Amino acid sequence: MAIRPADHGIFASVGGLAQPVAAYFGGGYTNTLASAVDKVAFADDSLTTLGTGLSVARYALAGAANSGVAGYIAGGAMAWPNKATTVDKFAFPGDSRTTLGTGLATGTSYITGAANSGVAGYFAGGYVSGNVDTVDKFAFSDDGRTTLGTGLSAARRGTGGFANSGVAGYFGGGEESSYVTTVDKFAFSDDGRSTLGTGLSTTPYMPTGMANSGVAGYIAGGYVGGGAYTDTVDKFAFPGDGRSTLGTGLAAAANSMGGAANSGVAGYFGGGNTGSNLRTIYKFAFPGDGRSTLSAQLSSSFGVRELAGFADSGILA
């Protein structure tokens, strides 16, 4: 039976418990559409690039993972106005790629992902010919897709997503007719949606999320209008969802990063844009939230923005 990443976190492989493995950052926009998938090993924060990248180069896409089993990268934009329904699946530990027979219900860009590891992945909101409130759910047992009867609280694109695996998924910020602080929460027990009483501390477009599952979720960065980006990192403590803002944010204000986490150990934010594309990977150590910058950088010499992230944090067989 799968257990939440927070239940094992830093443990090595003992009695069927697989060691947390790596963060993955895929796709995006460099000086052109990107298909590369970079992998950051949790053991030493070294970076390699997968031999097989995405099946279609695209940006403004989303990631989610069935930790210990496979990671998924969904949707995105190609040459305007084409948007992808594609969902690529990377099987752990070998990272071989397949593409699901059933993709998203509609080709969607500026979409956001979150996952209930062992159960299902969720891809929410985005842009079709306008903003949408759609939430597609992929059951990990067979990768079958359903679309939730209740979507986001408003049609919205460019949110940040994270999950308290086994409990709930969260989608915060983004753009409706204006930039918003809203954080929608979907309970995994029944996929019922509520909206947090306290939202984000800023109004970020294309912020990025990750979570220390069982402890807290984080939403970082974003574009806040007027040519300005934010370095803010908001933290939502589980189970009460109380928000605090980290004293140390990003080293540079940015949006459209990829996010992933080694629950119990550290979260990672990679790439993004702050007027120019970035190769930087930030690491926030749990539980103290101290920030460092990895010596390893993403593989594109042009930097990369609007990319997807997910992580393999292991599983109990």
Position 9 scores a pLDDT of 37
Q: How far apart are CA 296 and CA 99, in angstroms?
A: 29
% residues pLDDT > 70 (the chain):
93
pLDDT, mean of residues 22-40:
98
Position 315 scores a pLDDT of 62
Q: How far apart are CA 106 and CA 84, in angstroms?
A: 8
pLDDT-derived band at 85 (thresholds 50, 70, 90) equals very high
Q: Are 250 and 256 in contact (CB under 8 A)?
A: no
170-182: per-residue pLDDT in tens?
999 999 999 999 9
pLDDT-derived band at 18 (thresholds 50, 70, 90) equals low
Position 219 scores a pLDDT of 98
Among candidate residues 126, 26, 11, 15, the one with its CA nearest the CA of residue 72: 26
Q: Are 174 and 206 in contact (CB under 8 A)?
A: yes
Q: How far apart are CA 159 and CA 112, in angstroms?
A: 6
pLDDT at residue 107 above 70? yes
pTM: 0.94
Average pLDDT across the chain, whole number:
93
Range with lowest mean pLDDT among 91-95, 136-140, 243-247, 311-315: 311-315
pLDDT-derived band at 20 (thresholds 50, 70, 90) equals confident
pLDDT, mean of residues 41-63:
98
Position 15 scores a pLDDT of 44
**DSSP state, residue 289:** T
Q: How far apart are CA 169 and CA 185, in angstroms?
A: 6
Position 242 scores a pLDDT of 98
Q: How far apart are CA 19 and CA 60, in angstroms?
A: 30
**DSSP state, residue 228:** E
Domains of the chain with bracketed CATH: 5-312 (2.120.10.80)
Among candidate residues 85, 37, 107, the one with its CA nearest the CA of residue 65: 37
203-224: per-residue pLDDT in tens?
999 999 999 999 999 999 999 9
Among candidate residues 149, 145, 152, 144, the one with its CA nearest the CA of residue 169: 152
- Residue 190: exposure state from Cβ atoms within 10 A (0-12, 13-18, ≥19): exposed
Position 11 scores a pLDDT of 32
Round to the nearest angstrom and report the end-to-end CA distance of the chain: 6
pLDDT at residue 13 above 90? no
pLDDT-derived band at 1 (thresholds 50, 70, 90) equals very low
pLDDT, mean of residues 113-137:
98
pLDDT, mean of residues 229-244:
98
pLDDT, mean of residues 303-310:
98
Position 186 scores a pLDDT of 98
